[in-house]
A = this chain, B = another copy of it.
Amino acid sequence: MLELRHLRTLIALRETGSVSRAAKRVHLTQSALSHQIKGIQAHYGLPVIQRQGQSIKLTDAGKRLVFLAEKVLEEIQVAERDLAKISQQTSGSLRIVLECHTCFDWLMPIMNVFRQHWPEVELDLVSGFHSDPIKLLEDGSADVVIGSEHKRRRDITHHPLFRFEILAVLAPEHALHRKRILQADNFADETLITYPVPEDRIDLILKVLKPNGIHPKRRTAELTVAILQLVASRRGVAALPSWGIKNYIDHDYVIARRIGNGGLWSDLYASTLRETASRPYVRDFLSTIKKTCFATLEGIVPLK
Contact = CB atoms under 8 A, between A and B. Distances in A.
| Number of copies of this chain that the complex holds | 2
Interface in A59-117: 60-61, 64-65, 67-68, 71-72, 75-76, 79-80, 82-83, 86-87
A2 B87 contact: no
A198 interface: no
A83 B71 contact: no
Contact of A4 (B4, B60, B65, B83): B4
A28 interface: no
Chain B CB within 10 Å, residue with most, of A3, A67, A68: A68
Contacts of A44: 80, 83, 87
Secondary structure dominating the interface of A:
helix
Interface string A1-19: 1111100000000000000
B86 A46 contact: yes
Contact of A65 (B46, B61, B64, B83): B83
A119 interface: no
8 contacts: A1-B4, A3-B3, A45-B87, A46-B86, A46-B87, A61-B86, A68-B79, A72-B76
A58 to B, nearest CB: 12
B76 A64 contact: no
Nearest first, the 10 closest Cβ-Cβ pairs linking A and B are A68-B79, A46-B87, A61-B86, A72-B72, A44-B83, A64-B82, A3-B4, A61-B83, A60-B86, A3-B3
Chain A, interface size category, equals: 20 to 34
B86 A64 contact: yes
Contacts of A60: 86
Contacts of A68: 75-76, 79
Nearest to A65: B79
A14 to B, nearest CB: 15
Given A2-B80, A71-B75, 4 more contacts: A45-B87, A46-B87, A61-B86, A68-B79
Contacts of A80: 2, 44
Given A2-B4, A3-B4, A64 B45 contact: no
Contacts of A86: 46, 60-61, 64
